[in-house]
Amino acid sequence: MKERILVVCEKPTAARRIAHALDDDGAPEAYDEGGVPLFIAGRGDFELVVVSALGHLFSIAQDGGKWTYPVYKYSWVPAHDADKRQARTKRFIQAIERASKGATGYVSACDLDMEGSLIAYMVLLNVCGEGSLNEAKRMRYSTLTERDLIRAWEGMSPTLDYPLIEAGRTRHEVDWLFGINLTRALSLSLKNASGIFKTLSIGRVQGPTLNFVKEREVEVKTHVPTPFWVIKAETTIEGRRIPLDYTEARIGKKSDARKVVRACQGKDGVISTVSTRRVEQPPPPPFSLGDLQREAFSKFRYTPRTTLNSAERLYLSTHISYPRTSSQKIPPTIDVRGILEGLRRRKEYTRLAASLLKESKLRPMQGAKDDPAHPAIHPTGTIPGMITGVDARVYDLICRRFMASLSGPALRENVSAKVTVDAEGSNYAFFLRGTKLVEDGWIKFYEPYVKEKGSELPKLSKGQKVPFAKLRSLERYTKPPARFNPGSLLRLMEDEGLGTKATRTDIVDTLFKRGYVKGSTTEITDLGFTIIENLERYVPDILSVEMTRSLEEDMGRIQRGEFSRANAITKTVEVLESTLSGFKAHEVRIGSEISGAITREEERSSYLGRCPGCGDGHLRIIVNKKTGKRFAGCSNYFAGKCTTSYPLPQRGRITTTEISCSECGAPIIKATLRGMSPWELCINIDCPSKRGGSTDE
């Protein structure tokens, strides 16, 4: 009789692939246990029962007590007991429990990171019993290809990765303590001050991140434009109009700028020097998760969440390596040639991959960042079938970046010619600048995503006359710093050591979900600003980057065996006790200010324009309490002064355009439905413009 081994995976898709890879015949038995997919694979003398979690099947819950704070006592419980929305997890726990009967060995085959290690540990501990941990082993892999999974099975670690598990468990408990206490403090302050209940979350990473957005918004709003002047000049050489750069990019005084124009107008410049310099541009390293998210935002305007979801789908389909990595390195254990042989079978990469395969040695460009668990994101060489949309673009980005990292540097030749004008006893200097690509190197592999900058100059010589075809001074104003976009905010979090590669995307998502920020430029809302302002005033420690970074460093020390979970929890409780006592003392004032911000946000978001009926009221979005349908009504209705109202589209987002209809005077609104382009329309369904003609007879 074969020995029965329970193999715990993180997701159903991964379980299916692992079962197929490990089965001797590649055809494991699949069956359904109460809606939960399970697999039985035969491998030598073993019968492998491959089961799947559904992410975290166990989570943290408060030990008794009411919905108040502070809360310091908690337990790990089944996820469905902690959150009714996780009811589906109960079926998975029950199915795993039945499947584990008779097992004598156990394997953690979840993703190789804190989350995956913790998921398997909690399943074994709470479903299979503490004794299972003594018999448990660990598979380590970075792709779901058959080759890597078999290699991971044959090279299993004899024990679970306990330092990683302990760090993951600590992170969950620390984040839970911060999250539940600060969320309740904010939410209850609002409820006690105004009677309004609204979940207002904040956390040890969320707070400092939102504060970054707030500080940038202050810089933007308080920026005072300062005038400066620039010299715009052009010359014509061999029939081409070429710009001339004045030696000073910015001139502080208008009179100085005019002096340059007056002195050089109508004169010829003379080339005094011509310098040529060749510059190598090294290839980019392969992607870390943060790099991929920023590049996808830059090239496709994809949010970090969209990019991560796509990368995870590609990983589960075996087309790329594990995406949640901070590495920019491809280790020598990766079969680079094998991957290129695979890519060569896809027509758009055939020529590119073949050119790389001609090289006797392939050395990928290695970035500075490393990850002990996983290499940089790279294609596996398995060729996807029909992929379209987001997945196709993200896959192409990853493949081309991987090939570019294996190529040589690009070589540019930069030419700079100094043009001088002697006038009115002074010497004025301008520059002609050009560049040309001498060797394309890595650029030919990454070409769709890298833009050529600059243009080649005609042949120039010392002493050559350069006539000014155009010369003028223009007034400009300094601009405020740009607001963050999701990509640049992720980079700042990474640079400041806030969160992890696995959590940063969720934190940015939460800021939008809670209504603290909005728009593609991540603009802070009145609510977000008010929350940060109050935290800054009364409990500034929660916004401290140093405090958050210190806790992150503790996780790393736990993973290295240099610090204990108990010490990290004690440190967390000490910080919270100080923070929450300061919060309690000012709870009513904090709640009142947040209530005011919520009211202002609701009024602003519901405002549609001036009422054409009474002239002094405002049309706002109103929801009928009985039917749940929305319509536009005048703000003077409740005062008995106006009964003007209009129906509204019942789906999508409605916003004002601040424009009135030229036909009837009613507001023009903008309607936005997911997946569709926004459109504008007059709010008045009886508007003459909607009848297709004029009212004139």
- Residue 543 Ramachandran class (φ > 0 left, ψ -120 to 50 alpha, else beta): alpha
In the DSSP assignment, the letter for residue 147 is H
For helices 162-194 and 545-559, the axis angle rounded to 10 degrees is 150
Cite the active site residues: 322
Q: Which residues of 537-569 are buried (b: 16+ CB within 10 A; e: fewer)?
A: ebbebbbebebbeebbebbeebbeeebebeebe
**Which parts of 236-388 fold into alpha helices (H)?**
254-264, 289-300, 304-316, 336-343, 350-357
Max intra-chain CA distance, the chain: 103
For 282, the token pair is 């090294």
Residue keyed to tokens 């896959």: 395
- Contact yes or no for 687/646 (Cβ under 8 A): no
Pairs from 174-179 (Cβ < 8 Å, separation ≥ 24) = 174/204, 174/551, 174/568, 174/569, 174/572, 175/203, 175/204, 175/205, 176/60, 176/74, 177/71, 177/72, 177/74, 177/569, 177/572, 177/573, 177/576, 178/203, 178/204, 178/572, 178/576, 179/203
Asked if 383 and 340 touch (Cβ cutoff 8 Å), the reply is no
Per the CB < 8 A criterion, the answer to whether 149 and 22 are in contact is: yes
Output the DSSP codes for 234-256.
Answer: EEEETTEEEEEEES-S-BS-HHH
Reported as type and span, the H/E element at residue 348 is none
The partner residues of 467 in beta bridges, in order of sequence, read: 268
Q: What is the DSSP letter of 287?
A: B
Residue 408 CA to residue 441 CA, distance in Å, equals: 5
The residue type found at 208 is P
Which of helix, strand or coil describes residue 265?
coil
Virtual torsion, Cα 10, 16, 22, 27, nearest 10 deg: 170
Q: How far apart, in whole angstroms, are the C-alpha atoms of residue 686 and residue 474?
A: 50
Which of 602, 582, 621 minimizes the C-alpha distance to 527? Answer: 602
Q: Is the Cβ–Cβ distance between 41 and 19 less than 8 Å?
A: yes
Tokens 């697999």 belong to residue: 39
Task: Tell me the three state secondary structure of residue 471.
Answer: strand
DSSP track, 510-550: HHHHTTSEETTTTEEPHHHHHHHHHHHHH-GGGG-HHHHHH
* DSSP per residue, 611-662: -TTTSSSEEEEEE-TTT--EEEEETTTTTTS---EEE--SSSEEEEEEEE-T
With 0-12 / 13-18 / 19 or more C-beta atoms within 10 angstroms meaning exposed / middle / buried, residue 697 is exposed
What are residue 410's DSSP bridge partners? 281
Residue 541 tokens read as: 């420690």
Distance CA 419, CA 205 (A): 53
Residues 687 and 679 sit within 8 Å (Cβ to Cβ): no
Between helix 545-559 and helix 206-222 the angle, nearest 10°, is: 150
Distance (Å) of CA 226 to CA 314, 478, 503: 49, 5, 40
